[in-house]
Structure 1
Amino acid sequence: MGVNSDGNVHDPERRESKPSQGDPSRSVRDLFRLEGRTIVITGAHGFLGTTLAMAILESGGDVVCLDLPESPTAENWQDVETAAETHGGRLSYWSLDVTSETMVAEGFAKFMPTLRFPLRGLVVCAGISRNGPAIEFPISTIRHMLDVNVSGAFLAAQAAAREMRKSDVSGSIVLVASMSGYVSNKGVDTAGYNASKAAVQQLARSLAAEWGSRKGMPLIRVNSLSPGYIRTAATAEALQRPGIEAQWVGDNMLYRLSTPDEFRAPVLFMLGDGSSFMTGSDLRVDGGHCAW
């Protein structure tokens, strides 16, 4: 690395050719379509994961679902299978622990030969949240959260990028972070979780810097999505506490909680060609919670 005569830093490892650009002749509809692509989803067994799987299938993509259970038992899994049949998509499910480097490598090696379309996208939904007073919170739980939320995101992104490089195809990676990467949550003690989600946001920016500009790599865009509170089974326990729902609802500008379906369009946007000039960004979809 050196400094040019104009004072700008020159990195010899940066790609010399320009990345692919937008095409004004394409229809707006096509900018959100995913035909000819396979999208991998980690944490695909949760409500957000299954909802996004159905959206990707509806948009023309094939979906590979990864999660811990040996077989899918999500209560709406039949809906995911129906979406695949309705839209002619190929759907598969593979058991995988995203915190295990060996399992991630072996898992990708197993499902990659079964794909009919190149791997062009990844959505990292795998994540856990644990709460409790920081003064007595066990470090083992902190380490576990960081392992799932941060190390797991890195391993999945790394594996996907390696396959894209091997196939020499461009791609888009979406890491699901949280508005909790920006702010602390009123009414619940989640210091470790908040720290892990801030790390996910920074991980996305850092991977985007490497994979959008290096020789020997296809163009891989990396962005993060930061949802606000979502009404799912994961938040049901906290919402049972007196006053929590009223507080959470009152803390954003739309005065309600979100539902998983409200993240379909943002994720399709980031995966598709409509976001061709977007990388290293965080898309916050929080009902205005962080904008007060």
Structure 2
Amino acid sequence: MNSPQGVNVHDPQYREAKQPQGNPATPVAQLFQLNDRTVIVTGASGFLGVQAATAILESGGDVVGLDILASPRSAAWAAVEESAKTHGRGLWYFACNVVDENAVAAVFTDIAKAITHPIRGLVACAGRSISGPATEFAAKDFRALVDLNLMGTFLVARATARAVQATGASTFASFVLVASMSGHVSNKGTNTAAYCASKAAVHQLARSLAAEWGSRPGIPLIRVNTLSPGYIRTVATEAALKRPGVEAQWTGDNMLFRLSTADEFRAPIVFLLSDGSSFMTGADLRVDGGHCAW
């Protein structure tokens, strides 16, 4: 049986869970509340980040949004601000390039001064896709994509884990790293080798972090899971969908015969962040309309 170096996994101290365990007396609705928790959301002004932030606020959590933009996209972020006001929750936005190690460290210093509830979650949405034939794909584009999708996810996960660990060993947290169904399969009809490779790496990163930050003596329990969306109908996919045959192919490649919309990932994100998924770590929640199940 594999175990962390120097740790006896049969030791009751090692196996003691620090996060609330199952309790049949807990109302189901309460399992999905995020009260008294601050959650970091990267790519916060993007289509998925906005939905994640709004869902967290509606579930009782505070949100710190990070994005490379100096200020969030006004129209989308206005809805997030309205949600924070309606539900009486804390909301902060910081500009941050998540692939810059020093910038990530600096912004977490600022976050610690701003928030009113401890950091207990992360939704790492920041990422992008670049397509093109592998024989002509520029090395600089491959590196840039892996830097954002993988290294950026790691740097923020590391900084968030450090913030959680600083609050003491009796605490807990849940991280959601946004991967993709493309980390499981290649994308038929489009050339996205770099993107697929980077998202497969996010799956492995999450499993490895889950093992390292599990219930071990002296450190907080941090659950780490991935969310793997299928095709999402957004402004970002409009151009691809206009190409002949793409709409029919993408919709026909899954069992529900349609594309998803960004709001359909709100509940999966809240589930992974909340106590409702308390026995889930090192796992991938694939929400792809059955694309990978054929």
Quickly name the TM-score band, shorter chain normalised. over 0.9
Cα RMSD over matched residues?
1.4
Matched, 1:226 2:228: yes
Question: Which range moved further: 211-220 or 169-178?
Answer: 211-220
Structure 1 residues 239 and 9, CA, compared in 2 at 3 Å: closer, same or farther?
closer
**What is the TM-score when the length of structure 1 is the normalising length?**
0.95
Match of 1:12 in 2: 6
Within 5 Å, give how 1:108-119 maps onto structure 2. Answer: 108-119=108-119
Matched pairs, number: 286
For residues 287 and 236 of structure 2, the distance between their equivalents in structure 1, rounded to whole angstroms, comes to 18
SS of aligned partner of 1:76: helix
Gaps of 5+ in 2: none
Q: Which of 174, 186, 194 is residue 172 of structure 1 equivalent to?
A: 174
How far off is 1:187 after superposition? Answer: 1.6
Task: Give 2:282's aligned residue.
Answer: 280
Structure 1: any 5+ residue segments left out of the alignment? 1-6
- Of all paired residues, the percent bearing the same amino acid is 59
Structure 1 residues 95 and 237, CA gap change in structure 2 (3 angstroms): same
Q: After TM superposition, give the deviation of residue 154 of structure 1 in Å.
A: 0.4
Q: Which moved more, 1:45-54 or 1:73-82?
A: 73-82
What is the CA distance between 1:8 and its match in structure 2? 8.1
Query: Which residue matches 1:122?
Result: 122
Contact 1:46 1:74 in 2 (8 A): no
Give 1:43-192 correspondences, 5 Å limit.
43-168=43-168, 169-192=171-194
- Which residue of the other structure, out of 261, 264, 268, is the alignment partner of 1:262? 264
Q: 1: CA distance between counterparts of 2:207 and 2:236?
A: 27
Cα deviation digits, residues 170-217 of structure 1 (max 9, x gap): 000000000000111112100000000000000000000000033321
Q: Compute the displacement of 1:17 (Å).
A: 4.6
Q: TM-score with structure 2 length normalisation? A: 0.94
Cα deviation for residue 289 of structure 1 reads 0.2
**Letter of the aligned partner of 1:88 in structure 2?**
G
Match of 1:208 in 2: 210
Letter paired with 1:12: G
Superposed, 1:23-34 pairs within 5 Å as 23-34=23-34
Give the corresponding residue for 2:239. Answer: 237
Point out 4+ residue stretches in structure 1 off by more than 4 angstroms: 7-11
Which SS does the other structure have where 2:121 is aligned?
Answer: strand
- Specify the code of the residue in structure 2 equivalent to 1:115: I
Q: Which whole-Å CA distance do the structure 1 matches of 2:137 and 2:264 have between them?
A: 33
CA contact under 8 A between 1:221 and 1:280: conserved in structure 2?
yes
